[in-house]
Structure 1
Amino acid sequence: MKFCNFVPEMEILIYDKAMQLEGLAVATIGVFDGVHRGHRFVFEQLADKARERKLISTVITFDRHPLSVVCPDKCPPLLTTLDERLQLLCATGVQRCVVLPFTEEMAGLAACDFMLLMRQQLGVKLLLTGYDNRFGHDRSAGFSDYVRYGQEMDMDVEALEPCNITEEDCPVSSSMVRRLLADGALDKVHHCLGRDYSLEGQVVSGEQIGMKIGYPTANLSPDTHKLLPKAGVYAVWATIGVDGPTLPAMMNIRHCPTFGGRPTTLEVHLFDYNGNLYGQTVRVRFVGRLRDEQRFADASALKAQLAKDQSDALQVLRADAEAQETVCGK
């Protein structure tokens, strides 16, 4: 796990029972899956309070989604792995991030005991929380209870302002982004995240069907907990390795309708690239959705469609590159 070691400005700490942090902090707590615009609005409020009160801005998060422990059947697929979350948090300007290993013991803590942990071990002097946020094993306590608990342990508790950024003027949430991604609504996903959705995976061996018709693909194996966009064909930017080139490409997320009903596969075809990618990591940034998955009568029909897909993908990616140049040139 890389833990964002390329951005040293944010201190990243893995919680243990012996932890005793120095300095007083203003903190907020959550999974922050996706680190979307709503989360970043929270972090802006966190930074404002840190400057105002001369406290250390601190994000407290978990190493996994709490539902994976307390109710695995209801745990959603994730927009971001832990490493992706930490990388995105590094870019927010937060001074400190404490990662809590979410265990059954942690899940069993009552809200007041959890707040006492934050106060005594993490130095939290001011806790910022949503008015409807709930934590603790029974989730029965609410904001007024948190304020009362805080008064008993010399911790201030304040409510965060909501961030309404959707077209319907309702608060953006990770669950909303998951629904949009499952529907293939990339434009709305981008609007909520403030960036394109991305994933990475190691290149593994595949069936080499694309190779046989002149469209070799790299088959990606992403994190098993990562949410995949709706099946179909996408225009993407593909980055090879950590410092490798970023190339135009198209990705097919499929349930193999043409060649039988096998599990979902992720295949990315990098344009004008002939290198061997097996064993390497490729990061894919989704720019545009081209079409739904289709069943083709034969390989020649598939090849003809892939030629059109490549042309369409290049058009989308050229427009994206021009837009990026315009933004950077401002």
Structure 2
Amino acid sequence: MCQNVSCVHLPSHSDLPLHTPTAIALGNFDGVHRGHQEVIRTLVAAAPPGCSRSVITFSPHPQTFFSGKARLLLTPEAEKRALLGQYGIEQVIVLPFNSALAQLSPLEFVERILVEQLQAKVLSVGFNFGFGRGRSGTAEDLRTLCAAFGIPVHIVPPYCRGRDRVSSSAIRAALAEGDVVLARELLGRAYTLTGTVVQGEQLGRRLGFPTANVSLPPDKFLPRYGVYACRVTGATLGGEQLGVANIGVRPTVSAQQVTTEVHLLNWQGNLYNQEITLHLEAFLRPEMRFPSLAALQAQIAADCQVAAQLLEQVVSYA
């Protein structure tokens, strides 16, 4: 598996070279969920020797381009790149989704991007892949057009959980309800929040439950506001730790800014300026306003007890 994945933005103005010829998986891959993983596995298995195993993705997200509204992501670029590396991808190629790209016909996209620039030798796409002006090209169209250039195209069928297709939209819906258990099933792993620990107001410390305030990428999709049991990883933690995370605006103290903070159950130390990752395992309760800080303190103690029991079961099962 490839852990270090290069990221090339086209047109390339970076010091990172574009490695060609390529074997390419096409799509947005937001979430890198089980369906995306099948597309990538198919690509890795089909890649000829000497080809750089690559993913083409788009920035901004096409929906952002057409709607003009910022789209929060399940996996911002750095997180997505790290995940793709775990599945054998060596290179992420980011195409600027702009008017010029949006106006390319399906044939022009194949000729100019896939053949001329990327020297593609094999492709893998999901069954519902659309490309070219107005998404007029289908996955079958891609196969037909690429055949003229001797490029095989593997079309991966939908990945389903029961009768329901796994999709980024389904994961977003689950997270909006706080259903991180369902999100885990669809993703194939726990939903994670990765960021740098920054200085907070230290209210948790005054209450006897010190927390690490985690600064997340601004385009990261947050689950339902509330309290979660989580596993916590980081280079300086000396192994995986168990924690209780709060995501939201902390209504008891009349805070307005959305924060993500975590209390580690059995660890003490200084995490300032360190990157940590929260792996959300269970939703404990929604955010709520308490009549006093003493009541909030009692509830945090109860949350920690419940989280410890749940997380011990998760760790034992794993």
Residue 167 of structure 2 is aligned to residue 173 of structure 1: yes
**Match for residue 327 of structure 1?**
none
Tell me, in whole angstroms, the C-alpha distance in 2 between the residues paired with 1:242 and 1:82: 24
Within the candidate set 36, 39, 54, 1:42 is matched to 39
Within the candidate set 146, 150, 153, 2:146 is matched to 150
Within the candidate set 288, 294, 313, 2:282 is matched to 288
Within the candidate set 131, 146, 149, 1:135 is matched to 131
% identical equivalent positions: 34
Equivalent pairs, count: 314
Tell me if structure 1 keeps the 8 A contact 2:27–2:125: no
Distance change >3 Å, CA 274–CA 125, structure 1 → 2: closer
Post-superposition Cα deviations, 1:273-327, rounded to whole Å, max 9, x if no partner, equal 3423333322111111111212111111111111111111111121122122xxx
**1:27, distance to aligned residue in structure 2 (A):** 2.4
Counterpart of 1:291, as a letter, is: R
When normalised by structure 2's length, the TM-score is 0.87
Where does the alignment leave 5 or more consecutive residues of structure 1 unmatched? Answer: 325-330
Tell me, in whole angstroms, the C-alpha distance in 2 between the residues paired with 1:68 and 1:242: 37
Residue 79 of structure 2 is aligned to residue 98 of structure 1: no
Tell me, in whole angstroms, the C-alpha distance in 1 between the residues paired with 2:101 and 2:138: 19
When normalised by structure 1's length, the TM-score is 0.84
Distance change >3 Å, CA 106–CA 183, structure 1 → 2: same
SS across alignment from 1:138: helix
Where does the alignment leave 5 or more consecutive residues of structure 2 unmatched? Answer: none
**1:11, distance to aligned residue in structure 2 (A):** 5.8
Residue 74 of structure 2 is aligned to residue 79 of structure 1: yes
**1:219, distance to aligned residue in structure 2 (A):** 1.5
Counterpart of 2:45, as a letter, is: D
**Match for residue 300 of structure 2?**
306
Tell me if structure 2 keeps the 8 A contact 1:20–1:120: no
Distance change >3 Å, CA 35–CA 144, structure 1 → 2: closer
Q: CA RMSD in A?
A: 2.8
Counterpart of 2:64, as a letter, is: S
Within the candidate set 27, 31, 36, 1:30 is matched to 27
**Match for residue 194 of structure 1?**
188
Tell me, in whole angstroms, the C-alpha distance in 2 between the residues paired with 1:228 and 1:244: 27
For structure 1, which segment, 301-310 or 149-158, has the greater mean C-alpha deviation from structure 2 after superposition? Answer: 149-158
**1:152, distance to aligned residue in structure 2 (A):** 4.6
**1:17, distance to aligned residue in structure 2 (A):** 6.0
